[in-house]
Amino acid sequence: MDEKLYSPSSVVRISLPSKGRLQEDSLEFLAACGLRVYRPNPRQYEARIPAVPELVVLFQRPGDIVVSVQDGSVDFGISGIDVIEERKDEQTNLLYLHDTLNFGHCALTLAVPEEWSDVTDLAGLKQKIQSLERPLRIATKYPRLTGNFLKKNGIDASLILAEGTLETAPSIGYADMISDLVSSGQTLRDNHLKPLSDGMIQPSQAALIGNAHILKSNPAALKVARILLEFIDAHLRASENMAIFANIRGSSAEEIARAVFSKPTIAGLQGPTISRVYIREETANWYAVNIIVSRSKLFNAVSELRSIGGSGVVVMPVSYIFEEEPPRYTAMLQALNLSVKSSNEY
């Protein structure tokens, strides 16, 4: 992309992870939100989102994304909460815009060798430390988060900053245990390690962050923030729900509505949409009922529709459910001390 096509005031930047599973999941998530990233050459470190032409997409390492958002080099970024909390400054312009994107789940956790059979929690770890004739050594890539957690829990240890695979550190011998990201736990088991039951330091998933100073001072960035949050909120809400259509006999739409409201699951978000169905050479009155129900309650909803005479039940996924005002956008404005009215003037 040629940046000369944009004036400095109109260019808004977002950084995405440059490689790995987090990059793949970020691209898939944005595409599902209707914000597909167009990157014709995978070796390029710049791309665009056709749905938001004023937004330039850059690719950086997760830690560098946090630094870039903080110093204003980019306006927005997607990174893991673990990296964000490790790298952000105490006095920072970094603002969480959405901290539950629902991918990249993991947790920074303390893990010890399986052979430490008497160590299952922090209390057991403290007893283990007393039996050692030297300081406890913990290998980690997260010295700040790990150090704060250990201090909070009264555990004295020497942190060893390491790169690469940490799970081998105890077997090699340069550390006694590790503080590392855990998702399924399979990698720990493969390397004969076990997490402490109360050793979770930082739960994590992907989050959208922004630079608060830029959002308050640059109307173009605030506009893009609204677009991003509108589509993300609408997609995440829709992913939890299904649309159901069914035909029901009845004397009136009001009668059908009363029957629907008598059931706990099928009342919909605000209520059912009911319309007359016109059938050739049919004397009975038919009505079409359209409702939105939680995906987790789908079977109950279909059963309830059948119990009030529903037939030809059709279930479809929902792409977006837009609120009157997206909750995350409203929360962002409150954090920035901006009103919805003033933001709409941009």
| pLDDT tens-digit map of 47-68 | 999 999 999 999 999 999 999 9
What pLDDT does 282 receive? 67
Three-class DSSP category at 150: helix
What DSSP designation does 265 have?
S
Q: Tell me whether strands 177-182 and 106-113 are parallel, antiparallel or unpaired.
A: antiparallel
pLDDT of residue 238: 95
pLDDT at 8: 43
- Which among 301, 292, 344, 297 has a CA at the least distance from the CA of 320? 292
- From CA 108, how far away is CA 200, in angstroms rounded? 6
C-alpha 99/C-alpha 328 separation (Å) is 10
The SS3 assignment for 324 reads coil
The pLDDT score that the predictor gives to residue 229 is 97
User: Quick one: pLDDT at residue 2?
Assistant: 40
**How many other C-beta atoms can be found within 10 angstroms of the C-beta atom of residue 247?**
17
Residue 323 has a pLDDT of 86
What residues form DSSP beta bridges with 2? none
pLDDT of residue 1: 37
Q: Specify the pLDDT at position 45.
A: 84
Domains of the chain, with CATH numbers?
3-103+206-238 (3.40.190.10), 106-199 (3.40.190.10), 240-309 (3.30.70.120)
Please give the DSSP secondary-structure letter assigned to residue 230.
Answer: H
Scan for tokens 């004036």, then name that residue.
Answer: 7
Q: Is 178 helix (H, G, I), strand (E, B) or coil?
A: strand
Q: What is the DSSP letter of 4?
A: G
Three-class SS of residue 286?
Answer: strand
pLDDT tens figures, 90-125: 878 999 999 999 999 999 999 999 999 999 999 999
Task: Give me the residues of the chain with pLDDT under 50, please.
Answer: 1-8
End-to-end, the C-alpha distance of the chain in Å comes to: 26
What's the pLDDT score for residue 7?
37
Rounding to the nearest 10 degrees, give the CA dihedral for residues 66, 72, 74, 75.
Answer: 100
